[in-house]
Amino acid sequence: MRIALLMMLLLAPLTAAEMTTAQARRLEGLIAALTDPRKPINEPAIVGLVALGPDVLPDLNVLAADPEPGVRGRVALVAAGIGGPETMPLLKRMVEDRSDYVREVATLALGQTRTKKAYALLKPRLQDSVPEVRDSAALAMGQLGDLRAIEDLTLWHSAGGALAGLDLKTYPEGDRQRKRIMKSMQASLKALTMRPDAIPVIIELLPGLAPDRQRSLLEASWEIGDPRLSPVLADALYQGESVIRRSAAVSLAANGDGRALKALCRVATDDSVLAVREAAAHSLRSLTGHRAAAGPAWKLWWDNHAGAVAAMTARDEFIAALYDPSHKVTKEDLAGFTPEQLMPLVEGTIGGGAPWWSGVAWRALRTDDATRWTPFLAQQLASEPRERRQVAFVVLLDALGDPAAKPILAARLEALTQQRDEPGMRRQGSLYAALFLAVHGQPAPL
């Protein structure tokens, strides 16, 4: 009880008048509590010191020389909680600490520094002789967000590199350590590759990596959903190792466009490895809607569609360029394509593609002339059987702001209102609500 009361007093908020003197006393109390080995005392002290921010760093620098590794480890935890580049001088010392535990915590804390200088300290820790430090380095690389780490993290199959086998505990604990490091590296690699600015890095790195690292990077790309990757993935379909060809084929399901179809059709038709042919056929089914199995059927499909695919190359390149959030698009650029050709913008706006694509696609749609889109979206609304997508088309027609869309939506609402007593109406409540809001500018009455 007395311990809890003491910590409540230490962490109590201060009035403005008390701030200078009382904060100094409070800091002294928190520093003292940080050196206490008892968790009920030192854990609230960690929270309190973090709350005080960078002002406590001079005191932490002193405590970093404490003979007790537990104290030094708690200093590193406070630095991790404070974060920011101001903590770099302290953490630079602590990642060289004689205690493995302190180095583990300090390495993880580097991920919160938000400075490129931390990468140079993390890179060698990814091959540290102590597995816990490697694990911390892998996690910190993902948190730091420095894209240079992508190449390093492609070593996840070997759990870090040449030194990864050192200091592992005996089996089965050593095997668990290795798997933990591999999972941390995979998670950080995926986190980094799921950023829009990572795509140029992947495109540059992929062709020059060793096969095992190519595989790592390809697998990390499977769920990105950015067609800027389509050409480099199509090139990877011609690699010598079947595992690379298969991984590239799988990745094209999410990242491919028309520019990869010729290579995919060739692989689905006559690759020497069944798993590669099937992966290519799966991606082709996703990209084209044609349901053929792996085999000569895809050669026939290509022979029938090669001209149409080639005619869409300029459109594919245009859409792929838009995936870069910094790319500027004009109304004149968009006017070079029909709304039907620009359907990927609609699909992106309602939730398809990479995580950042919906916002970028909507920005492009808003740039275009809304009157071009009203007939096309009205046709999509009329022919779409799924209510969720019908609602999306209603919202888009309303949001684009073309006055000609209002009568179309009003007629749709009137037709739906007349069906309210029919059983199917109960299944279209969301559509009715969206239409009513679009037409009347207020929610539908209950």
CATH value at residue 304: 1.25.10.10
pLDDT of 175 reads 79
Beta strands in 386-434 (DSSP E): none
CB 249 within 8 A of CB 190: no
What's the token pair of residue 434? Answer: 């969206």
What's the average model confidence in pLDDT over 204-227? 96
Q: How far is CA 61 from CA 23, 56, 85, 287, 340, in A?
A: 19, 9, 15, 57, 63
Burial class (CB in 10 A: 0-12, 13-18, 19+), 228: buried
Q: Determine the Cα–Cα distance for residues 354 and 194; give it in Å rounded to an integer.
A: 8
Do 336 and 289 belong to one domain? no
Spell out the residues 6+ positions from residue 443 whose beta carbon is closer than 8 angstroms to its own: 433, 436, 437
Chain segment 354-412, per-residue pLDDT in tens? 999 999 999 999 999 999 999 999 999 999 999 999 999 999 999 999 999 999 999 99
Residue 352 has pLDDT above 90, yes or no: no
Selection from 62, 112, 126, 48 nearest residue 90 by Cα? 62
Chain segment 84-104, per-residue pLDDT in tens? 999 999 999 999 999 999 999
Do 269 and 356 belong to one domain? no
Q: What is the mean pLDDT of the chain?
A: 91
- Among residues 281, 311, 341, the one where a domain terminates is 311
- Among residues 267, 282, 311, the one where a domain terminates is 311
Domain count, the chain: 2
pLDDT of 162 reads 47
Residue 207 DSSP class: G
Do 263 and 299 belong to one domain? yes
Q: Determine the Cα–Cα distance for residues 185 and 183; give it in Å rounded to an integer.
A: 5
Question: 324 vs 161, which has greater pLDDT?
Answer: 324
What's the average model confidence in pLDDT over 315-340? 97
Chain segment 107-134, per-residue pLDDT in tens? 999 999 999 999 999 999 998 889 999 9
Domain annotation covers residue 404: yes
pTM of the model: 0.87
Residue 212 has pLDDT above 60, yes or no: yes
Do 298 and 369 belong to one domain? no
pLDDT of 351 reads 87
Residue 38 has pLDDT above 50, yes or no: yes
Residue 7 has pLDDT above 60, yes or no: no
Do 344 and 395 belong to one domain? yes
Q: Rg for the chain (alpha carbons), in Å?
A: 29
